[in-house]
Amino acid sequence: MRLSFLVILLLLSFGVFADEKLVRGLGPEPDSLDIHLAQGVSALNVLRDIREGLMTLSAAGQPINGVAESIGMQADDRLAIVHLKHDLSWSDGSPLRAADFVRGWQRAVTPATAAANAVLLDPVVNALAIRQGKQAIDSLGIRALDEYTLEIRLNRKLPWLNWLLAHPLTYPLAEKADAGINTNTSANAKVDQRNGPFNGAYTLASWTPNDRLVLLRNPHFHSRETVALERIEYIPIPNPNTELNRFRAGELHMTETIPPARFDWLKENYANELKVYPYLGTFFLGLNLRQPPLAGNTNLRRALLLAIDRDKLTALVLAAGEKPAFSLVPPGLGEYQQQYPGGAGQQQAAREKTAAALYRQAGYSKENPLHLELRINSSSTHRRMALAVSAMWKQNLGVVTRIVHEEWKVFVNNRSQAVITEVFRGGWIGDFPDPVTFLSLFISDNVQNWSGYESLRFNNLMALAEDQSNPQQRLQLLQQAEKQLLDDVPMIPLYYYVSRHLVDQRVSGYSDNTLDIHLSRYLDLEQR
């Protein structure tokens, strides 16, 4: 017995049993694991593992039934009747019922919650009025008809309803995790959901900041028999080079990204592990239009936009498969036609000449340079981008740029406050494959409108598109809205994302998809 025990200890120490858990790189530390406050991709990825909505996503990234047994549409697709599965429990064994969704959705639109993504619920009856403090919470267009049936009333047809029902914003909220949604106080925003209960394939067992998040298989999950792995560990690693080193050392089975300028080396040395795929996302630099020098100076903003050589930026600086971007809405969204700002169709030399002329018209020159602050979150990729952009602005215009690096949570707070920002790292990953998920960011009252962009024409076009039942006319209105946005230059598109990961060859169940969402419930790990 003693020998067997020692052998087991030795086997454990050499990692033979390590394959009982899957270790994933996470990127930055999650900003929150509150379903209504989380904004970053890392937080949303963890939430999708430990919680589940009426819909969820398949391994291929398509919406499928989650907690819902069925969803039927009535009244010209403006009324949804949702029947829940009957074997639903929270991770503590307490029953999960329709009222938990009503509670969650009401908290999401309560003004005191300040939910970052609450605008996604605006198609629900009275959601916008509640967010604006004009309607009572219980007027929201969702109610429990009985323990297993929900009624959802919409203002209009919603082509992306199934995607909305899979988003963490719409997840249920257990009664014991609620701080009292009817209080309308700031205490409502301080609910700590890290302690559960949970209703996803996994539960959050522990979260050690800057070390790891440990997830354990949820024995009360409705499809627990399909979940292969007992334990998932997410490792926050903001530096891609560090993440690569840990993957090469066998400490990670999956990385969140790859380092800049290592793409060709990885293709040669890790061809079987490297996964690169088109991604529904656009990286941009946001411009603070609430204060000088960028407020009220379209010529200056357009000069900054045209002075950047995106081909050099993506091919030589980032060098990880990114594609140059001049539009906010990325390619690949059906019949939607991408829009571009004035001057984008020129060759780069002509763009730079136009940029220099606009710079002078804006009142600046190399003798009287513009001084700007470019704020980014700490990341080697963003640092390389910022250095390259500032060098191009310096060379082509004479702009003097100060680069400010901040830890992710500090950066997110400063960006949302928009008090000390001038130019800042932006970007958006689509919540669903529709142009509105990108364009709605710049509607005047969207809390994620970090630039403070206000355009009556843009807002009106977006509103008309929302009410348009003809798909073709809807797309035309959205295209006009994007053209207006790009010509006003509240942000500078730089490149379209691609998803890029290193995945151990023993990992099975991994499937490329344009949303780059890979739920741990579909993954397995072959034994050595």
Structure tokens at 141: 């267009």
Using the structure block, give the residue that is written with the tokens 């067992």. 205
Q: Which residue has the higher pLDDT, 528 or 479?
A: 479
* CATH class of the domain whose range is 53-191: alpha beta
Confidence at 3, pLDDT banded by 50, 70, 90: very low
CATH architecture assigned to 279-498:
Roll (3.10)
In this structure, the number of other CB atoms found within 10 A of the CB of residue 186 comes to 12
Segment 66-82 mean pLDDT: 95
| Four-CA torsion 44, 48, 53, 57, nearest 10 degrees | 110
Structure tokens at 250: 């066998």
In which residue ranges of the chain is CATH 3.10.105.10 found?
Answer: 279-498
User: For residues 305 and 287, what is the distance between their CA atoms, to the nearest angstrom?
Assistant: 11
**Per residue in 103-142, pLDDT tens?**
999 999 999 998 988 989 999 999 999 999 999 999 999 9
Residue 351 has pLDDT above 80, yes or no: yes
Q: Considering the entire predicted model, what is its pTM? A: 0.79
In which residue ranges of the chain is CATH 3.90.76.10 found?
Answer: 53-191
Helix 471-488 and helix 456-467: axis angle, to 10°? 160
From the list 500, 79, 5, the residue with the least C-alpha distance to 254 is: 500
pLDDT at res. 319? 82
3-class secondary-structure state, position 466: helix
Residue 179 has pLDDT above 70, yes or no: no
User: For residues 304 and 461, what is the distance between their CA atoms, to the nearest angstrom?
Assistant: 26
Q: Which residue has the higher pLDDT, 369 or 156?
A: 369
**Per residue in 262-287, pLDDT tens?**
888 999 999 999 999 988 999 999 99
| Four-CA torsion 514, 520, 524, 528, nearest 10 degrees | 100
Segment 306-314 mean pLDDT: 96
Q: What is the mean pLDDT of the chain?
A: 91
